[in-house]
Structure 1
């Protein structure tokens, strides 16, 4: 692996994203974005795509992208996680991983979807593996060029302009492209615990679909690994936000005439949180590097990172609420957003115990 630690270029990319989010995605802006019809701020998303190119980072230049890798996308996702910014980037990254796989064939109709994604068009993958293990049962079947069945929940499934669907057929699993305006397709937003993540229920009734590949097993394993790493980046950022908030609060909150952060017992608890955040970041970074380099242990490192980052984010979020006290359960404070984000991300791409099961030979 070439970059055992983030390079100066990675730090500069992170700083650029962080500076933008500090101006455009503070606590009040996040709450306004939640109320948007799309579930995120389209103007901020356009700025992220136009000025920084976040959606194009992992797409090759010949397909309209910036020609970087999943590493740079990880850097951006961690900053989005730290700011708790509602964003369709996770959904688009997963869809890109499917379209970039060698098994995927180019679509015959319309412009290259990767060019559209690079420009900021929202894409998503309707597959049960997004909210479960890679071998989760598929509830959609493909026959005679059409898809029938349902899948839920789907990230940004109600608003995505590029819709990919995994379907079962006689020979296995296939990947298909569906026109979001197709006859027989119903997309319904479903409520979730985390208001900063948007999900939908998708129903398909004999919906015409264009085949991308009829042999998607290897493709879906890769997509699941990429999704696990992208989610881990958001979890690391979420945990960092919880730690930062807690440290700042304990410096200000006084009890018995002194800041509660000066009490040794609380110092130890926050030191434990720091260890979990740093170990999460190290595990995720190593796994992303292994995936980009095609290392033999990439799958195992991804599973380890997925398991550890999920549990660390949950633990940090719980301590964030506990150490803030009563103010943490008020709507006005951001602690509940940290907790809800950690809980929601924990459900994506397999629960921690399912990730650990993948480590067993």
Structure 2
């Protein structure tokens, strides 16, 4: 599935994020991350969601504070609307990084929606309802403080909107799959940080990573991350696996983040260490696009 050019894309994004000063505009204009899965006629790269998935895995790995997830969802929602006029008007700005767009799910365009990705700073609100896709209007938008400070959420009070296309049920599955990429990237980083720490932390004259009990726990972490990676990437090409990817990747991140804190010991519960940030991301992201039990119920109905 992955080819050498995907490795090059991953390396470019990782290098830019490692500098510590990577901006959303810079990522869009230098690498084109927001437009990877957007056709060239709208200013994109004409690639696929697989390429966007690679980038999402990298932004998730470092909990980057950039709106890659809402950008991917917004561009896909616009493309799925089938409204070429709206796509031509909005997609080039989103691809360039100059326009922030987000997607929210609602029963209608006249209600209050909570926990909207970047909802307080978004220039464009795309509302998915049972009656169709809308460009939403709002009378009130406010940032919602959460424990996960790496994710910007907001409460949005909708006040109507303009219909741009029919209902798109598959949009939520796309959201689950793209979120799973972030979760896999974060989980792999938790594993890497833990393995590195156990190589340098010494007790009883030996690195703690040499103790058999800890080796077994890290082996279990490795298996969980690899299986999560596999189902996440498999779901890119088969949205029928979206619910399974959502459940397994969320559970993997929660488990591996918890194990990271346990194996790091006391240092992991200090504010200065990043471990708490990954644990908070694990808890928050598991509920972002629906409760875990809802995804399990969907899986059960397909068996």
Whether these two folds match at TM > 0.5 is yes
More helix by share: 2
Of 135, 138, 149 in structure 2, the residue corresponding to residue 195 of structure 1 is 149
In the alignment, is residue 11 of structure 1 matched against residue 7 of structure 2?
A: yes
What TM-score results when the alignment is normalised by the length of structure 2? 0.94
Provide the residue aligned with 1:165 in structure 2.
Answer: 127
Structure 2 matches for 1:88-99, cutoff 5 A?
Answer: 88-99=67-78
CA contact (8 A) 1:106 1:212 kept: no
Q: Which string of whole-angstrom CA distances, capped at 9 and with x for unpartnered residues, describes residues 92-139 of structure 1?
A: 1111121111x442456x9611111111121101215xxxxxxxxx2x
Q: Distance in 2 between matches of 1:107 and 1:345?
A: 34
CA contact (8 A) 1:123 1:162 kept: yes
Aligned residues: 300
Note the C-alpha offset of 1:330.
0.8
What TM-score results when the alignment is normalised by the length of structure 1? 0.79
In the alignment, is residue 149 of structure 1 matched against residue 111 of structure 2?
A: yes
Structure 2 matches for 1:179-190, cutoff 5 A?
Answer: 185-190=139-144
Q: Which string of whole-angstrom CA distances, capped at 9 and with x for unpartnered residues, describes residues 214-262 of structure 1?
A: x31xx1x211111111100000001011001111111111111111111
Provide the residue aligned with 2:162 in structure 1.
Answer: 210
Structure 2 matches for 1:244-283, cutoff 5 A?
Answer: 244-283=192-231
Unaligned runs of 5+ in 2: none
Q: Distance in 1 between matches of 2:136 and 2:105?
A: 13
Provide the residue aligned with 2:174 in structure 1.
Answer: 226
Provide the residue aligned with 1:176 in structure 2.
Answer: 134
Q: Which string of whole-angstrom CA distances, capped at 9 and with x for unpartnered residues, describes residues 270-321 of structure 1?
A: 010000011111111111133xxxxxxx32x121111111100110001011
| 3-state secondary structure, aligned to 2:247 | helix
Provide the residue aligned with 1:339 in structure 2.
Answer: 279
Unaligned runs of 5+ in 1: 26-42, 129-137, 141-146, 291-297
Note the C-alpha offset of 1:187.
0.3
Give the superposed CA RMSD.
1.7
Provide the residue aligned with 1:67 in structure 2.
Answer: 46
Note the C-alpha offset of 1:21.
1.2
